[in-house]
Amino acid sequence: MATAATSGIHRQLNERERKKMQHELKLYMEKYFKSKLGKGVDHTKVTIWEDLMVIRGEGFLTEPEKYIVNTAAGQDVVNAARMGVAEQHSQDNVPYFEKLFQAKVIHEAFLVDAQKDFWMHVLVFDHVLTK
């Protein structure tokens, strides 16, 4: 007998499940960055919509980084360093997200803007996650 995963039928989150999952992933991401960087993000938001998941964070810079980012050269250094953090986050967490949603990430993009103390990770899955 074929299961939903093997038959190509994927379970989609209803509105209540979607909001609960967004909240749980927000907490998960805050804990992840706190454990990896020693500093959490001041504000995290996770949005799941159709075949997308967007993770946004504000207030991720340390006090030394806030000082360094005040120069043009410093902005480049901090942006490059934080892009490395974003790429490591992807390596660490994409397998978890794929297992959680039973969906494959087919595209992803990052934005790190140290001057605005903002970062974003957008993931596109191979099927719709929400109803």
Parent domain of 32: 20-125
Cα separation, 9 vs 116, whole angstroms: 41
Q: Is 131 inside a domain boundary?
A: no
C-beta of residue 48 within 8 angstroms of C-beta of residue 129: yes
Q: Which residues make beta-bridge pairs with 112? A: 119
72-131 per-position pLDDT tens digit = 888 889 988 888 888 889 999 999 999 999 999 999 999 989 889 899 999 999 999 999
Domain count within the chain: 1
On whether residue 79 sits in a domain, the answer given is: yes
Does residue 7 belong to any structural domain of this protein? Answer: no
- Residue-wise pLDDT tens digits, 39-72: 778 899 999 999 999 999 998 888 888 889 998 8
- What is the pTM (predicted TM-score) of this model? 0.84
| Residue written as token pair 């939903």 | 4
